[in-house]
Amino acid sequence: MKSSLLQMLRTKENEFISGEKLSEKLGCSRTAVWKHIDALRKEGYNVEAAPKKGYRLSDEPDTLSKHQLESRLKDETFITAVHHYPSIHSTQETAHQLASENAPEGTLILADEQTKGKGRLGRQWHSPRETGIWMSLILRPDIEVKRAPQLTLLTAVAVVRGIKNAVGIDPEIKWPNDVLFEGKKVAGILTEMQAEPDKVHAIIVGLGLNVNQSQFPAPLDTIATSLRIESGKSVNRTDVLSSILIEWDWLYRTFLKEGFAAVKPLWEAHALTMGKRITARTPKETLTGIATGIDDSGVLLLRQDDGTLRHIYSADIEC
């Protein structure tokens, strides 16, 4: 009910809507409408009331609540359930547990704070309270196990396009899982699987996105940034997340229908490394050369100085 009420108030931005009209649209009494309005106010929403005019939403809190998100998505995405936690060890950890309990595809886990946020290669992700988007999404695609890493690249495209649409600034993608501004990390993606050798049961895609931090503790201050720092203004996290999810939805549907080849040119259009000299530190060796792009499976292509074309499946990349 609160999600529908918020959606209606937003559609009439800066205009009053009568209690009678709200009760008619929502299928409840005007008393029930008032109670939901009162509940929204207690959550930080500034809902004005005027005699003979009704209600008007004039300001919203920067909270990642279930009804905040649902009221923006309007059934436009594949999100089937939202689990929101004020504080949690790790959204990835919780997502794995829910996936093992048969949570459906599109189950989204959100947290205002992670105390043990997970990054790639066992690293920890700094996730302070109410400053970023800390989330994991459960997917159940009918694909081969070897194609799962392509979803990391797809997610990166959704993130940069969503940020562009919501904030108006252009980040870049560093293969395989980082989103950067001027060499500083604003987001990281972690893709994990529950699978057998020949069957994917679930893919859990985690995203950590720095939104409203104004500064970072050492040593992160030299390598991390936020949307607030880059845009010069405070950013509404729900606006950013809903924009990312809308992009993610159509990219994922395209991926399932047409394969990764349809996503590849979009990834390359935002890639930081395209045509640049890089160093790739793989588990076995360190390689240098020119990054020429990715192949249709998402593998990084590196042209060494002697002309040899190397396929990079896993590595830390330095530009």
Contacts of 199 (CB under 8 A, 6+ apart): 145
Please give the Cα distance from 211 to 163 (Å, whole number): 10
52 labelled binding-site residue? no
What DSSP designation does 14 have?
Answer: T
Of 137, 230, 219, the residue nearest 179 (C-alpha): 230
Domains 66-269 and 277-318 belong to one CATH topology? no
Tokens coding 248:
């993610």
Q: Are strands 300-303 and 309-312 parallel, antiparallel or unpaired?
A: antiparallel
Please give the Cα distance from 248 to 161 (Å, whole number): 9
Give the least confident one: 47-61, 102-116, 155-169, 231-245: 47-61
In the chain, % of residues over pLDDT 70: 98
Tell me the per-residue pLDDT of 206-255, one tens digit each, with 9 for 90 and over: 999 999 999 999 899 999 999 999 999 999 999 999 999 999 999 999 99
Looking at CATH, the fold of the domain delimited by 2-59 is given as Arc Repressor Mutant, subunit A (1.10.10)
Tokens coding 170:
């252009």
pLDDT category at 44 given cuts 50, 70, 90 is confident
Strand order in the sheet with 172-174: 81-85, 107-111, 132-139, 199-210, 184-196, 178-181, 172-174
Report the pLDDT value the prediction gives residue 162, as an integer from 0 to 100. Answer: 98
In whole angstroms, how large is the CA radius of gyration of the chain?
A: 21
Any idea which residue has 């360190």 for tokens? 286
The HSE-up count of residue 285 (CA atoms within 13 Å, CB side) is 6
114 labelled binding-site residue? yes
Full 3-state SS string of 87-148: CECCHHHHHHHHHHCCCCCCEEEEECCECCEECHHHCEECCCCCCEEEEEEEECCCCCHHHC
Contacts of 97 (CB under 8 A, 6+ apart): none
pLDDT category at 66 given cuts 50, 70, 90 is confident
Decide if pLDDT at 33 tops 90: no
Beta bridge partners of 117: 125
By CB neighbour count within 10 A (0-12 exposed, 13-18 middle, 19+ buried), where does 145 fall?
A: middle
pLDDT category at 74 given cuts 50, 70, 90 is low
- How would you label 52-83 residue by residue, b for 16+ Cβ within 10 Å and e otherwise? eebbbbeebebbbbebbbbbbbeeebbbeebb
Decide if pLDDT at 305 tops 70: yes
Mean pLDDT for the chain overall? 92
| The amino acid at 178 | D
Match domain 277-318 to its CATH number in 1.10.3720.10, 3.40.50.150, 2.60.120.1440, 2.30.30.100: 2.30.30.100
Looking at CATH, the fold of the domain delimited by 66-269 is given as BirA Bifunctional Protein; domain 2 (3.30.930)
Any idea which residue has 């020429």 for tokens? 292
Where are the domains positioned within the chain? 2-59, 66-269, 277-318
Tell me the per-residue pLDDT of 185-209, one tens digit each, with 9 for 90 and over: 999 999 999 999 999 999 999 999 9
pTM: 0.85
Please give the Cα distance from 43 to 55 (Å, whole number): 16
DSSP codes of every residue in 177-241: TEEEETTEEEEEEEEEEEEETTEEEEEEEEEEEE-S-S---TTGGGTB--HHHHHTS---HHHHH
